[in-house]
Amino acid sequence: MRNISILIVMVAAGVVGWLYWQQGRHVPLVVSGFVEADGIRVGSRVGGRVEAVFAEEGKKVATGEPLYELEPFDLKEKLAQAKSELAAAAAEHVRSRTGYRPEEIEQARARRNLAKATLEKLRSGPRRQEITIAREQLNEAEANLELARAEFARIERLREDQQAAPSEYDEATRTLKAARARATAAEQALELLQEGTRQEEIAEAEAELAATEQALNLLEAGNRSEDIDRAAAIEEAARAQVTAMEVQLAELAVVSPCNCVVEAIDLRPGDLIAGNAPSVSLLDLSRMWVRAYVPEARLGQVKLGQRIPVKVNSFPDERFAARVTFLATEAEFTPKNVQTPEERSKQVFRIKVTLEEGLDKLRVGMPADVLLDEGVTP
């Protein structure tokens, strides 16, 4: 009985000692999370039918390396049409900016000079020599008329004496009428020359001269600035259309935006994909981190920029250097997947520990432990 009492006392003393030791010992601060990386979902902005697939799941791809390519359909023909329209717009812009050719200006100047000469001729009226000629022609016509009258009178007397044939009388009559008409015409022609040019003809010539002068001035001045600006705007619009078509053609080849790993791709030649729809998932392994949660009571041990080692189960004997690059300013309740020795009911602060080593060894999704007690304050 005495031995049992001694044993009970020893056990009680051991329990008390263990509890005292537990309260006095330091509990390492270790928070766990998972290795993460930036996920990039790429696709084409134009969409279409898949022509070829180059990427494979799990394969590393370099920046600019093609992932897949779409069929061009009618984009090449549309680009050729847009380039033709651009060439036409550029030529029209140059023509409007350069103005008219010297030959066109000289042609307009010649028309102006012709209209000016015509007006001066009409204003000057007939020359003195022309009036003299017209007067002489009138005298000649009157002389011929007198001769025709005398001949007609002679034939008419012979006819009365029945000594002239009817044909002779008819011929004399026609000759008299013709001579009278020529005399009248010559007289009127002389009167027209003496009266000079009509005012209506002068006014018409003046209007023609003004029109030709304005046409010449327009050609010499060139195109209006508004027309040149409009031609320039049309050219810029055509160039923008060409650029847009070239961008669409470039979108047919979907390339990697970084040195990444293909996480997921489910495409085959012949598949149809929509524009602006993600079709390939990539992981950018150039920057990896561990997302973890620190209990509120231990937040004072974590500093932004602090260097902290990280270990993973796959490499138990290694420590990977990392640095605290994010420290939340607001607390949140402990997520279900967080593993810490602290009570889950307490609030925690999210941190991001960016890895500086092991990028070639570690994989996204690995569970990792952040050894906060081994951190070095910056």
Query: Which of 353, 264, 258 lies closest to 311 in space, CA to CA?
Result: 353
Task: Provide the 3-class DSSP secondary structure of residue 333.
Answer: strand
Compute, in degrees rounded to 10, the torsion defined by CA atoms 197, 202, 203, 207: 160
Regarding whether 66 and 93 lie in a shared domain, the answer is no
Q: What are phi and psi of 109, to 5 degrees?
A: -65, -40
Do 369 and 332 have their domain in common? Answer: yes
Do the Cβ atoms of 115 and 222 come closer than 8 Å?
A: no
CATH number of residue 53's parent domain: 2.40.50.100
53 domain residue, yes or no: yes
342 with 357, same domain: the answer is yes
* Highest mean pLDDT (candidates 12-16, 66-70, 131-135, 227-231): 66-70
Distances (CA, A) of 150 to 86, 138, 157, 180: 87, 18, 11, 13
Residue where the block lists tokens 């040019």: 197
Can you tell me the mean pLDDT for 130-142?
Answer: 85
Residue 181: pLDDT over 60: yes
196 within domain boundaries:
no
Residue 329, domain member (yes or no): yes
Q: Are 43 and 255 in contact (CB under 8 A)?
A: no
> Among 249, 264, 295, which residue terminates a domain?
249
Residue 364 has φ and ψ, to the nearest 5°, of -65, 135
Residue 366 domain flag: yes
Query: CB-based contacts of 159: which residues, under 8 Å, 6+ apart?
Result: 166, 168, 169
Same domain, 362 and 296: yes
Number of domains in the chain: 3
The reply to whether 263 and 327 lie within a common domain is no
Residue 331, pLDDT > 50, answer yes
Domain-embedded: residue 87: yes
pLDDT tens digits for 255-305? Answer: 999 889 999 998 999 999 998 999 999 999 889 999 999 888 888 888 899
The pLDDT value recorded for residue 245 is 92
70/85 same-domain check: no
User: Does residue 25 carry a pLDDT above 50?
Assistant: no
The span from the CA of 184 to the CA of 253, in Å, is 95
Query: What's residue 24's pLDDT?
Result: 46
- Evaluate whether residue 33 is within a structural domain: yes
CA dist 71 → 102, 107, 151, 272 (Å): 51, 55, 105, 10
Judge if 228 and 294 occupy the same domain. Answer: no
Kindly report whether the global pTM for this prediction surpasses the value 0.85. Answer: no
Question: Both 305 and 355 in a single domain?
Answer: yes
pLDDT of 61 reads 93
Mean pLDDT of the chain: 84
Ranges assigned E (strand) in 97-202:
none
Give the distance, in angstroms, between the CA of residue 105 and the centroid of all CA atoms in the same chain: 37
157-164 mean pLDDT: 77
> pLDDT digits over 85-126, tens only?
999 999 988 888 887 888 888 898 899 899 888 888 877 777
267/321 same-domain check: no
pLDDT of residue 22: 47
For residues 347 and 358, state if they share a domain: yes
Predicted confidence (pLDDT) per residue in 43-82, tens digit: 999 889 999 999 999 898 999 999 999 999 888 899 999 9
What is the CATH classification number for the domain harbouring 320?
A: 2.40.30.170
Which of 334, 324, 354 shows the shortest CA–CA distance to 293? 334
Residue 145 pLDDT > 60: yes
Would you state the pLDDT for residue 269? 93
- Residue 311: inside a domain: yes
Within this chain, do residues 340 and 323 fall inside the same structural domain, yes or no? yes
Q: Do 349 and 301 fall within a single domain?
A: yes
Residue range of the domain that includes 257: 48-74+253-273
Is 174 part of any domain?
Answer: no
